[in-house]
A and B are shown apart, each in its own frame.
Chain A
Amino acid sequence: MIKNYIKRPPITIGRDATVEEAAALMAEKGVGSLAIVDERGRPVGIITERDVVKAVARRALEAKVVEVGTTSNLLTASPEDDEYEVLKKMRERRVRHLLVVDKEGKLVGVLSTRDFLEDAALRALGDKVWWPPPEE
C-alpha cells in the first residue's frame, strides 16, 4: 500500500506564498520541490527548483508559487491504494510526483518515483509477480 512508502510529512507552501519564500523554504529543508496547498491543506500544485530558476530569469521573485509551479496533470492517490496500480499511472501520465491525500483531500505525503526504488517496493512488486491478486 502507498502509505508504507510515506517516510516523512510533506513539505508544503501556501498558494499565495512568493517564489522567494519558496526558495527560502527549499533551502531550509534541503529539498528540491514543495507541494503547494490551499488554506485547507489540499494540494493544488508542485513547485520545483527549476521553476524557481525560471522565475529568477524572468525577475519574478515576487510572483506567487501557483503562477510558476505546475498546477495541471497532478496525480493524487489515497494512502490505501495499491503501489503497482499507482506506479503504472505515474508512468502512463509521465509524472514524477505523487500527491497522497486522505479522505478529506488533505495532503498527507508526496512520493517521487525514487521513493519506490527501494527494497520494500521491489519486494512488493516481486510478490505481485508470484501471487497475482484474484481480481487480476
Chain B
Amino acid sequence: MRDLIRKPPVTVPPTATLLEAAETLTSHGVGAVVVVDPSNPDKPLGILSERDIVKAISAKMPLSTPVEAFMSTDLVTVEAEEPLSRAADLMWMYNIRHLVVVERGKFVGVISVRDLLEPNRRRQLC
C-alpha cells in the first residue's frame, strides 16, 4: 500500500473554514482532506469528505464555520504495511471512500477507493 498513498497528504488545520476546505478539495482535485493540528502532525483529528461539505451546506452552516465543527472524527486507519485487500475490505465494511494510512502509529497519507480501482492495482486485489 505504501506505493499508492498520496504523499504528502492534503490536510487542513481544524480552524480552516468550510469555504477554505471546499477550496482545498477543489484545487487539489481530491474527495477528502485530513484535518491535522500543525503542532501535532502525526495524529490526525478528523477527515472531511465531499459528503461532509454537502451535509454542512444542507444544514445551512455559514461558509465561515470551522471544519472541526463538522468533520468526521471516526477515523478508519490502516497500516502502510498491510495488503491492498485489507484497505478494500475496510472501505467495504464501513462504506467509506478514504482511509487514513499510518506507519508505526504516525499519519503518513490517505488511500482512496479511486486509488484502488486503478486498473493495474485492481489486479493485485484479485
Contacts and interface: CB of A to CB of B under 8 A. Distances in A.
Determine if chain A interacts with chain B.
yes
Given A23-B58, A52-B57, A57 B19 contact: yes
A53 B53 contact: yes
A124 interface: no
A128 to B, nearest CB: 21
Contacts of B96: none
Contacts of B50: 32, 49-50, 52-53
B57 to A, nearest CB: 4
Binding site secondary structure of chain A: helix
A57 B54 contact: no
Contact of A61 (B25, B31, B55, B57): B57
Contacts of A56: 18-19, 22, 53, 57, 63
Interface residues on B, range: 10 to 19
Interface in B1-44: 18-19, 22-23, 25-27, 31
Interface residues on A, range: 10 to 19
Nearest to B53: A53
A24 interface: yes
A89 interface: no
A26 interface: yes
Contacts of A49: 50-51, 53-54
Interface in B44-91: 50-51, 53-55, 57-59, 63
A57 B51 contact: no
Interface in A16-38: 19-20, 23-24, 26-28, 32
Interface of B: 18-19, 22-23, 25-27, 31, 50-51, 53-55, 57-59, 63
Q: Enumerate the 10 nearest inter-chain pairs by beta-carbon distance, A residue then B residue, closest first.
A: A27-B58, A56-B22, A23-B57, A49-B50, A57-B22, A24-B58, A57-B26, A57-B23, A23-B58, A23-B54
